[in-house]
Amino acid sequence: MRALLIQPGARHGYALARFLVQADALQGLYTDFAVASDSTGARLIRALATVGIAPKLSRRVVDGVPAQSLRRHSPTSLVMGRTSQHRPERWNFRKDDLRQADIVYAQYFAGGAQFDELTARGARFISDVFITPSAHRIASREAALFPDWGEAPLSPEAGMALDAVSIAMIERSDALFCPSQSVIEDVAGYLPSARAKCRLVRYGSGLNFLEPGQPTPKRVLFAGSIQLRKGPQYLAQAAARIARIDPEIIFVFAGALSPEAAAQLRAPNIELLGHISREEMRRQFLRADIFAFPSLAEGSAGVVLEAMAAGLPIVATREAGVEFSDGESGIVVPAANADALETAILQIVGDRAMRDSMARSARTEFAAYDDRAWAAAFVCALREFAPNG
């Protein structure tokens, strides 16, 4: 099996490319900008990050993938892509890659505008459906319901354009790798027969917490970019109600947010951390008592897996995309339901024995999501579609 991987951005820290290298199956990683970890560029990026210059660039350093496997956009094409928003993204695929690859694996139909070129020699095209296709509709609905949060609904034209990409992906891909059952159900909502193309391939996480947690009782943590799609508005409603019952329960929001969102979240029992470093995020996981993530649309939320790795009871929706044992590792709540969030948080905070039992169970369940399990599941699922396995 030889797989050509198309991945704009640094999703999962390029884990899929590493898994393919480990399986001796990576034909090439096509991405917008990345540098191999042993390159001069990587050393420069790390040096800049240590003095606080462009720290986000460090995410573009690829570990475990040889430099000769990287295929990057040229700086000119990157600039042209930004100035030509309505033109399909074009990739300069190497002829030897197209000749040797029998699998094309694309992040949400990336490269789909060149579908015929990619599959001309019989390669199977597989799309990673990393988010529910209807996520933009959900975000627009919430923006209309909560206008004070500063998010604008998409125009009908923009929504139709996003749906067109999703429909093309669903119809043309040979397989759709979905990280959660909620994504499969959403795909089927677009095209019921596409359920047969879907494969449940759960994401994992390489994060480990070797040090024991030192939870601060009644400290409820939310992590991730603070946008309406992820449900902070409903957690804020629950926090306001809980403040009248037990004002010592503190809600901590870690993640980038707009001034409008910050204004909506300001309250005596809410602490806003803004965007924080990975190391500080680790400390927040270890300090927290509970992790709450009432997202309305995800693929599979990595922050939930990280919280499980840290040994935190989880209060989350099924739409967050991570399967955990309801009642054992946490409590599953319905989406857009502040009442359910309030009840679940108070139940766990009020029963320390339950809280500690859920913490142990969450950490145990995380073992099924570590990098080794993820790599094995991903490569095994790909081999189903490779002509020679």
Residue 242, token pair as written in the block: 């809980």
* pTM, to two decimals: 0.92
Q: Residue 360 belongs to what domain range?
A: 219-369
**Total of domains in the chain:** 2
Residue 92, token pair as written in the block: 């300069």
Do residues 241 and 336 share a domain? yes
* Torsional sign, CA 346, 350, 351, 356: positive
> What is the pLDDT confidence band of residue 87, given thresholds at 50, 70 and 90?
low
Does residue 109 fall inside a structural domain?
yes
The answer, yes or no, to whether residue 207 has pLDDT greater than 90, is no
Do residues 150 and 261 share a domain? no
Confidence (pLDDT) at 44: 82
Integer-rounded Cα radius of gyration of the chain: 21
- Domain with residue 325: its CATH number is 3.40.50.2000
Angstrom distance (rounded) from CA 279 to CA 58: 14
Do residues 317 and 200 share a domain? no
Confidence (pLDDT) at 45: 77
The answer, yes or no, to whether residue 82 has pLDDT greater than 60, is no
- Domain with residue 142: its CATH number is 3.40.50
The answer for residues whose C-beta is within 8 angstroms of residue 68's C-beta and 6 or more apart is none
Do residues 223 and 352 share a domain? yes
Residue 122, token pair as written in the block: 């019989």
The answer for residues whose C-beta is within 8 angstroms of residue 262's C-beta and 6 or more apart is 272
H helix or E strand, kind and range, residue 338: helix 338-349
